Amino acid sequence: MTILKQLSKLSLAAVSLSLFSASGAKAAELSFDGMDRGAGLAAAMQELKDRAATGDDSRAPVPSTTTQSNELTNFFDHLKDGALDSLCKKAEIKLNKDFKLVEVIGIDGGLKRRLKAFPDKRLALLDEINLKLSVSFGTEVLQVPNVGSLNIGISGGVEGKSVVVRPLDSTRYCKELDTLIKLYEVKTVLPVTAKRINKMEKGEIWKLPVTVHYSISAGIGTMISEVVNVSIGAGYTRAKKPSVSLYKMDENNLRLRLRLDYVKVKSVGVSANTVEVPVGDIGLISGENLIATTVNRELAKEINKMIAFKLAYSHAMTSGQKLLLEFYLDPNNAEQVDRLAEFLQGDFNTIRKFIAMGLKFNTFSEEASGQAGVGEIEELADQAGSELNATSTFAGSDHYNGNSNNFNINIPVIHNHQNSWASSYHRYQSLNNDGATIHVRQRTRVSNGDTINIPLIGTVVKYNSQQHIYAVNKEAAGGEVSRPVLLYQKYEGFLRQGDSTARGMIDDANNVLKYAGRQGNGVDMSNTLPSAAIFPPLPPQEYTNQNNDYMQSDPVKTYKAAVMSFKLVFAQTAVQDIIFAPAQLIMKSFMNVMRETEAAIIDKVMDLFTINEKGKVDYDYKAVIKRLDVSPFPDNNNNGQPTPLDIVRNLAYAATKFIERIVSVRDESDLKAQSERLAKVASSGEMKYEDFLKVVIQMVDVKDISSEIYIHTDKRVKDEEDVTQTYSMFNNRDNGFDSTIADVTQMRERFNDPGDLTD
């Protein structure tokens, strides 16, 4: 009990005193955007340019060593989160203390200290101090007979954090446990002084994020048979999220980033779940001290994983604006460091000052001119720059809106699955882009599956995937709008899956690339990767059992982890080839893909398909019957399976619908409207995402497309080497469309929320 008392005292000290402590450290050589470290597509394209300059026009996959983006790094971090792993990797220190001033006002604060690995496996030490003030009020406004009560709630709060990231020389978690438990070496951001800034080590990151929010919610619920709770709710939230970060990039560069995010969220949801065990009913550790409360809460959460079945659906609409100012300062310049310390003032006045700056930060509609907002951005950059005696290296904004749908099912211990699909619009502006505006229409589909979730231990098997479609227009300062560029981005990864699953990730990409430029005529495997060479199968097993009823399968092996990124870019010319493709070519390309499942029929009747005067796919019915040697009046003994004539009819109908989808993009007279429609068409319907790409990639010239596949493995299989490699296909860079995609990539990297190890 003495140890528990001491930990409780340390918790209070961490909340009330550690905000003013300081000590030295190291940090990561990671940057947030592709401009600094050559991340993502921008760097890959520069590498391809260099290769093109040497005369290498090979269409086959070309290996390279491109550094991957933070987006992929964050995907891999999420994949590993909560997974079954060593105890040392899971080790962290969390000291929390919360109490209420009155019934509706609470204060919560605490310290979290943990280890986290960079992509190169080096470890970083994270010190996070959290202080939160919350106000909430709820009341029952109506009792519905035989259903339940309707409740209304209002809440608000302010949450501030101090986050310090310091890298360690080691790559071994267990070796650094001694470092983790040295709470007297906890480092915080505040107070910011010139002396403390001068002591920052290379790569060290300081972050001060703050969230100010309020919410209104309403919900009604009922209990069914005292076992299942069904509830429906809706809510509205507004939040301001300013943040300040400082990153010691090297001995001569100190990066200051000022962020501001205004966001509004409207949501509605319905859920059903079995009754959970309240925290108070656990009671394994009695009393009201920190350790008792924390342990009981964690045990309740883990026990509920074992017994609570959940089913939930929600829809949310989001809109907001982000502002980012970036300054590069010289840490060897005493005057600049003093001005920086004065600007930050050693407390949260900087946050309040930045919010005041952002009051001039207006919202803009999609139809606003390219110059709208540039004046406000410039004024904010000049105001901050004058106080720092420095010129901004980046000043820009992201105005966005969108909606998302989320579906979640949890079968205790066995499986948890989350599906989401979303659409959004982003309007990027910056002073560094000659006043140009980038319009991005985005469609996203996410699938995350966790299998065998062991309480208190972790998830054994995981498989996550994300698919993104981006349709992009660039608007010049004078209002001229470029034709659409199309980008497809897929992230996919797993933990503890068989070798066939690993090969399947590569084969999915191959099944798109093999159709490139084929104009409806078969496939070309020279543009694909050898999945069996990267993830080799085991030799087939010889079976001695001749019983046909005995289920036999080839041997499999299990890989520890792998992640893959697949990018495919269509230049303006390629998109125009797709949009204005003749109906006959669209039909032929569609049927070429359908050969994957219906080759036996299509190969016999393909020449009988035509486009009629209404623009629909038609065919000679009598000729089809003769070719297929079937009766026009089949009997009913087909066990519910479609007949060959049914398949032909369905193919003609599906091809017609696909042609109509392409034509609908063509019919949009406005170029930005074309992008919006293209993103929707590519991500919805029976043929979406990769299935859509299989068809349209056939209609383009391969010199107008570019593709990258990145593979990273942690196999843990004897005699098999790991792979960390980027492969580039279709390397002709003569069209210059790479600059637009590079701009989009950098903007996304900048305005995405920073990860744990980035600023």
Q: What local confidence, expressed as pLDDT, does residue 267 receive?
A: 94
Mean pLDDT of 195-205: 91
Beta bridge partners of 470: 442, 487
Residue type, 735: N
Lowest mean pLDDT segment, chosen from 12-26, 62-76, 300-314, 705-719:
12-26
Q: What local confidence, expressed as pLDDT, does residue 609 receive?
A: 96
Q: Count Cβ neighbours within 10 Å for each residue of 11-20 and write b for 16 or more, e otherwise.
A: bebbbeebbe
3-state secondary structure of 656: helix
Q: What local confidence, expressed as pLDDT, does residue 364 receive?
A: 47
Would you state the structure tokens that stand for residue 40, as one six-digit string? 């993502």
Q: Which of 153, 144, 44, 159 is nearest to 110 (CA)?
A: 159
Q: What local confidence, expressed as pLDDT, does residue 17 receive?
A: 32
* CA–CA distance, 682 with 689 (Å, rounded to integer): 6
Would you state the structure tokens that stand for residue 270, as one six-digit string? 């319905």
* CA–CA distance, 74 with 80 (Å, rounded to integer): 10
Q: Which residue has the higher pLDDT, 525 or 42?
A: 525
Q: Is the pLDDT of residue 749 over 60?
A: yes
Q: What is the pTM of this model?
A: 0.82
The answer to whether 336 and 246 are in contact (CB under 8 A) is: no
The answer to whether 102 and 73 are in contact (CB under 8 A) is: no
The answer to whether 127 and 31 are in contact (CB under 8 A) is: no
Beta bridge partners of 729: 707
What percentage of the chain has pLDDT greater than the value 90? 42
User: What confidence tens digit (pLDDT) does each residue in 257-289 have?
Assistant: 988 898 999 999 998 887 665 544 444 444 444
3-state secondary structure of 499: helix
Q: What local confidence, expressed as pLDDT, does residue 555 receive?
A: 84
Lowest mean pLDDT segment, chosen from 26-30, 76-80, 255-259:
26-30
What is the chain's mean pLDDT, rounded?
80
Q: Is the pLDDT of residue 224 over 70?
A: yes
State the sign of the Cα–Cα–Cα–Cα dihedral 528, 533, 536, 537.
Answer: positive
* CA–CA distance, 152 with 639 (Å, rounded to integer): 54
Lowest mean pLDDT segment, chosen from 407-416, 494-503, 550-559, 722-731:
550-559
Q: Which of 240, 222, 230, 215 is nearest to 160 (CA)?
A: 240
**DSSP for residue 753:** P
In DSSP notation, 119-185 reads TTS-EEEEEEEEEEEEEEEEEEEEEETTTEEEEEEEEEEEEEEEEEEEE-S---TGGGHHHHT-GGG
Mean pLDDT of 398-422: 93
Q: What local confidence, expressed as pLDDT, does residue 580 receive?
A: 96
φ/ψ of residue 263, rounded to 5: -140, 140
Q: Is the pLDDT of residue 492 over 90?
A: yes
3-state secondary structure of 377: helix
In DSSP notation, 222-245 reads EEETTTEEEEEEEEEEEEE--EEE
Mean pLDDT of 39-66: 45
User: What confidence tens digit (pLDDT) does each residue in 582-628 have?
Assistant: 999 999 999 999 999 999 999 999 999 999 999 999 999 999 999 99
